[in-house]
Amino acid sequence: AQSVSQHNHHVILSEAASLELGCNYSYGGTVNLFWYVQYPGQHLQLLLKYFSGDPLVKGIKGFEAEFIKSKFSFNLRKPSVQWSDTAEYFCAVKAGSARQLTFGSGTQLTVLP
Amino acid sequence: GAVVSQHPSWVICKSGTSVKIECRSLDFQATTMFWYRQFPKQSLMLMATSNEGSKATYEQGVEKDKFLINHASLTLSTLTVTSAHPEDSSFYICSARAPSGGTNTDTQYFGPGTRLTVL
């Protein structure tokens, strides 16, 4: 069965620092990849997704992610974080023809003002 | 667009009672909805896939008779926790899968969740 790994459980950054959150998956076939964000007390919101085409995907709020097929990775990046980016970030994978998503364990990002 | 609502947002009930949670896709039709549990500071655990007009598909280890799912229309799925016990206390989240063919194909949109506390 496929799995999704987010190795950073908690990341603490100062405002204006650059961010990169790791996401690796285990599935050899075609995948659809997602990053979701959950702000404190709010529901999951879609940040960005990759289905095909350009492996560098731009999402909302200045986030981007790069799909590297050879590394089975889909890391999330933002060049300069803000205090308002404090949230939990989840990577998710849809493997092949499966309808469901497999989620990573999440990364809590805390941005210090 | 792509808004999913859940009702209620929180519920407290006595042990042994049943609780129904509704999940609605407000501005799109969803043939497939999903139900998750999320424990504090943990990821989402898929409980079941809700299919409009047919039986739900449950993940391994999820009791079908305890967590009843009904997907009677293209915009509504319900999860009923039957004979709830304190260990069922959790945050239940639904999502709706955008229909095929559009730019949002295969994208899931999440509801705000329902906090269930069983006393």
Query: Could you list the pLDDT tens digit for every one of the 119 residues in chain B?
Result: 688 999 999 999 999 999 999 999 998 888 899 999 988 777 889 999 998 888 899 999 999 999 999 988 899 999 999 999 999 999 999 999 887 776 667 788 999 999 999 99
Q: Which residues of B touch A44 (CB under 8 A)?
A: 44, 93, 95, 110
Separation of alpha carbons A14 and B114, rounded Å: 33
Residues ≥6 apart with Cβ < 8 Å to B20: B78, B79, B80, B81
Structural contact between residues B44 and A105, judged by C-beta atoms closer than 8 angstroms: no
Q: What is the pLDDT of residue A100?
A: 86
Burial zone of A22 (CB within 10 Å; 0-12 exposed, 13-18 middle, 19+ buried): middle
Specify the amino acid at residue B33: M
Structural contact between residues B44 and B113, judged by C-beta atoms closer than 8 angstroms: no
Within 10 angstroms of residue B21's Cβ, the number of other Cβ atoms is: 24
B106: left (phi over 0), alpha (psi -120 to 50) or beta: left
CA distance B32 to chain A (A): 8
Contacts for B68-72: CB closer than 8 Å, 24+ residues apart? B69/B35, B71/B33
Q: What is the pLDDT of residue B1?
A: 64
Interface with B, mutate which of A43, A91, A94, A107 (most B CBs under 10 A): A43
Sign of torsion, CA A17 A23 A101 A53?
A: positive
Residue carrying structure tokens 């050879």: A70
Interface with A, mutate which of B7, B32, B106, B109 (most A CBs under 10 A): B106
Within 10 angstroms of residue B47's Cβ, the number of other Cβ atoms is: 23
Tell me the pLDDT tens digit for each residue of A5-29.
998 899 999 999 999 999 999 998 8
Q: What is the pLDDT of residue B39?
A: 82
Q: What is the pLDDT of residue B103?
A: 67
Residues in chain A predicted with pLDDT less than 70, given as ranges, are: 1
Structural contact between residues A23 and A31, judged by C-beta atoms closer than 8 angstroms: no
Q: What is the pLDDT of residue A98?
A: 83
